[in-house]
Amino acid sequence: MSRLLPLPSLMVAPTGARRTRGDHPALPVTIAQVVDTAAACHAAGAGGLHAHVRDSSGQHVLDAGLYAELMAEMAVQVPTMAVQITTEFAGRYTAAEQRALLRMLTPEGVSIALAEMLSDDDLPAARRCYHALAEAGVAVQHILYEPSHVAWLAREIAAGTVPGQGLTLLFVLGRYTSGQQSEPEMLAPFLDAMKQARLAADWALCAFGRRETACLQAAVTAGGKMRVGFENNLHMADGTLAPDNTARVREVARFLAD
C-alpha cells in the first residue's frame, strides 16, 4: 500500500508550475534542488512531497523521464518521505496528455484536478485512467478548486468514473479570487459540500496568498491536513518574506503538536 494512504499530515509543495527563482531565489527548480529542499522540509516535519519537475529552460513539464529521475533520487536521498507527482495543466497540457503521462510511469502518489481530467468530456478514458491507477495501488489525491467540485466528484463516483474507496482530497482556497488571496472562512463551504454529498474522505487544504498559515490552522482545527509551500505562498504568517520552504514547514508543523 502507498505511504500516501492515508495522507501525510503535512505535505510540502516547494515549487509549483509557475514561479521562478526570480520570484524567490530559494525556489527549487532542478531535481537536485527539489530533493535537497524535500530533505530539509522532511527534517522540519513534512511527511510528503508534492512534486513538480521543470525542463532545462525552467518550464513546468509533464515528463515521465524527469519524474522517474526525481522519484529515484528521492528514494535514495529521502527514503522515508512520501512522493506525490502532479498532473497540473498549467495552461500547457490536456487531459489526454495527463493520461498519457500516467500510462508511462507508476508513481507512489499523484494529484489530479477533477476539472482538468474531465475537461475533454472523455469519460471512458478518464474511467480507464482512474481505475488503472487504483489497480496499480497509486494514491490519487483529487484536487477540488471549488465547493461545487465536491458534488461533482460524488456524482462521478456514483457513475463509476472514479473509484470510491480510499478517497483523498485537496481543497484549494483562493485559486479564483482577486489576487489569489485566501481567508480561513473559505474552508467552510467545502466541508458543507462534503457533508451534503455524504462523501467520506481523507482531506487536506492548500491556500494561496499571505493568509496561508491561518487557513492551514483552520484546516487542522476542522480535522484536516495541510499542504504548505512556495507553490501557493512566499510569506510567513507575520507578512515577512519566508527565507525558504523549510521555514514555511516549520511554522505550520507546530499546529500538529498543539
Tens digit of each residue's pLDDT (9 = 90 or more) over 17-50: 999 999 999 999 999 999 999 999 999 999 999 9
Average pLDDT over the chain reads: 96
* Domain annotation covers residue 5: no
Residue 96: pLDDT over 60: yes
Pick from 173, 249, 238: nearest CA to 209: 173
Percent of the chain scored above 70 by pLDDT?
98
Percent of the chain scored above 90 by pLDDT?
94
Q: Which stretches does DSSP call E strand in the chain?
A: 10-12, 48-51, 53-54, 60-61, 82-86, 109-113, 139-144, 168-173, 202-207, 225-228
Tell me the pLDDT tens digit for each residue of 111-157. Answer: 999 999 999 999 999 999 999 999 999 999 999 999 999 999 999 99
C-alpha radius of gyration, the chain, whole number: 17
* Domain annotation covers residue 2: no
Q: What is the amino acid identity at position 82?
A: A
What domain range is 215 assigned to? 10-257
* Angle subtended by helix axes 148-159 and 187-196, to nearest 10: 30
Cα–Cα distance between 57 and 248 in angstroms, integer? 27
Instruction: Please state the φ and ψ torsions of residue 246, each to the nearest 5 degrees.
Output: -60, -40
pLDDT tier, 2 (very low <50, low <70, confident <90, very high otherwise): low
Query: What is the average per-residue pLDDT within 182-211?
Result: 97
Query: What is the average per-residue pLDDT within 167-181?
Result: 90
What confidence score (pLDDT) does residue 176 get? 75
CA distances from 250 to 49, 171, 228 (A): 15, 21, 10
Tell me the pLDDT tens digit for each residue of 56-74. Answer: 999 999 999 999 999 999 9
Domain count, the chain: 1
Residue 1: pLDDT over 60: no
What is the value of pTM for the model shown?
0.96
* Domain annotation covers residue 1: no
Coil, strand or helix: which one is 142?
Answer: strand
Query: What is the average per-residue pLDDT within 217-230?
Result: 98
Q: Which domain CATH number covers 214?
A: 3.20.20.70
Cα–Cα distance between 61 and 104 in angstroms, integer? 14
* Domain annotation covers residue 163: yes
Query: What is the average per-residue pLDDT within 181-196?
Result: 97
What confidence score (pLDDT) does residue 242 get? 98
